[in-house]
Amino acid sequence: MDLITSTESLASLCQVLAGDGFVTVDTEFMRETTYWPDLCLIQVAGSSEHGLIDPTAAGLDLAPFFALMNNPAVLKVFHAARQDIEIMVHRSGVVPHPVFDTQIAAMVCGFGDQVGYEALVRKLAKAQIDKSSRFTDWSRRPLSDKQLAYALSDVTHLRLVYEKLKAELDKTGREPWLAEEMEILTNPATYRTEPQDAWKRIKVRLKSKKQLAVLVAVAAWREREARDKNVPRARIVKDDAVAEIAMQMPQTREALAELRALPRGFAASRVGDAILKAVKEGLALDPKSLPATEGGRDENSDQAQAAAEILKLALKVVCETQGLAPKLVANTSDIEAVAEDDNADVPLLHGWRREVFGNLALALKRGEAMIGFQNGKVRIVEQAAPPLKTAAE
């Protein structure tokens, strides 16, 4: 099984594939030691032709492939597309379009949360995939025949998976729902890594605006360092250390040295000085420019948490009835936001999600619907509005 290693061969393949209505695409990459994923292999297949492209080959220009990815007349079919597209955006600067993600389509069609490719192939293509090569080193050359066969199966079986899912979407009328998701997937903003948003990756409970300000500044510094050096974020400072810095807000080398999450001697290094500078910058931020913290919740937060638990149960009931994956409709953050605020700006209260569950969630909060049992099964019942009282009453 030969790899495509020349621009001429790649251009020839892409010219043939450009005549197809859709092509299936996958990539193999490594990112354990880098910030940006290291593209190692590209797999692509059309109705009659397919190819394995070696992006590491000397002199190979990927321009014909990226032109195919940006051809509006050809639908690009991926499974779990986000990381594949992220790599292409980084290499070419342009988001492939139009796109069909079979993992998201499967969730829309009721195959469960984040269903794996192998499971879909078994159910829809009636085939088995040898997964033993999945976590091999794709950067090493030469690649074995077993690796290449596995890589190719990721796009050849995907053709039938796509056709089956497309037919199901057409039958259920849910294709517009998927289209909304694909708009997000093909939006360039989805792939921008803004340092000022890096703090959202850190799991930590903060009690003050000052702590949040430090978290924002330190996480942004780490993001820039990792990106500029092309190393994983944890190679700069680990997440738990960033969280501890935010909670303790050290302003001297001595205070920094006392943090348990940092290695010994770290405080006296150049990186230690950079962290202290970031802490100082965070403390100088205007508190009004920062989002609310956990400690800033109002006295109704307990009621909101109780409401969130009810909404989670209701979501499960609705999704079982509709044949949908709950995580596709709403995540925990969305549910909690709606529990606290009827006008929360979250996906659950927009588009098809609002039609499927958002309006019902609001009705439950207002007491216009209730969860109960009917014929031994949990059901959600909408209640009629109580009659208006007259003056005599």
- Distance between CA atoms of residues 28 and 84, nearest Å: 8
114 with 159, same domain: the answer is yes
Burial of 37 (0-12, 13-18, 19+ CB in 10 A): middle
How many distinct structural domains can be found in the chain? Answer: 3
Tokens 């499971």 belong to 119
Q: Output 182-185 pairs: Cβ under 8 A, ≥24 positions apart.
A: 182/98, 182/99, 182/100, 182/101, 182/104, 185/81, 185/82, 185/85, 185/99, 185/101, 185/104
**The two three-digit tokens of residue 235, written as one number:** 């190679």
113 with 247, same domain: the answer is no
Structural domain boundaries, residue 17: 7-191
185 with 251, same domain: the answer is no
Produce one character per residue of 42-60: b if its CB has 16 or more CB atoms within 10 Å, e if not: bbbbbeebbbbbbbeeeeb
- Distance between CA atoms of residues 283 and 11, nearest Å: 54
50 with 77, same domain: the answer is yes
Per-residue pLDDT in tens (0 to 9) along the chain, 393 residues = 689 999 999 999 999 999 999 999 999 999 999 999 999 999 999 999 999 999 999 999 999 999 999 999 999 999 999 999 999 999 999 999 999 999 999 999 999 887 899 999 999 999 998 878 888 899 999 999 999 999 999 999 999 999 999 999 999 999 999 999 999 999 999 999 899 999 999 999 998 999 999 999 999 999 999 999 999 999 999 999 999 999 999 999 999 999 999 999 999 999 999 999 999 999 999 988 887 665 444 445 778 889 999 999 999 999 998 889 999 999 999 999 999 999 999 999 999 999 999 999 999 999 998 887 777 677 787 765 554 444 444
The neighbour count for residue 214, using CB atoms within 10 Å, is 29
324 with 290, same domain: the answer is no
Of 242, 275, 294, at which residue does a domain stop?
294
DSSP 8-state assignment for residue 70: T
- Distance between CA atoms of residues 162 and 316, nearest Å: 27
Q: Is residue 387 part of a domain?
A: no
Specify the CATH number for the domain of residue 302.
1.10.150
Q: Is residue 85 part of a domain?
A: yes
Q: Is residue 251 part of a domain?
A: yes
Q: Is residue 2 part of a domain?
A: no
Helix, strand or coil, per DSSP, at residue 369: strand
164 with 253, same domain: the answer is no
Instruction: Give the pLDDT confidence score for residue 384 in this predicted structure.
Output: 52
Instruction: Give the pLDDT confidence score for residue 129 in this predicted structure.
Output: 87
Of 294, 310, 326, at which residue does a domain stop?
294
73 with 173, same domain: the answer is yes
Specify the CATH number for the domain of residue 160.
3.30.420.10
Q: Is residue 143 part of a domain?
A: yes
Helix, strand or coil, per DSSP, at residue 102: helix
259 with 319, same domain: the answer is no
Instruction: Give the pLDDT confidence score for residue 344 in this predicted structure.
Output: 93
Q: Is residue 247 part of a domain?
A: yes
CA-based angle 313:314:317, to the nearest 5? Answer: 90
Of 273, 294, 315, at which residue does a domain stop?
294
- Distance between CA atoms of residues 370 and 372, nearest Å: 6
Instruction: Give the pLDDT confidence score for residue 390 in this predicted structure.
Output: 46
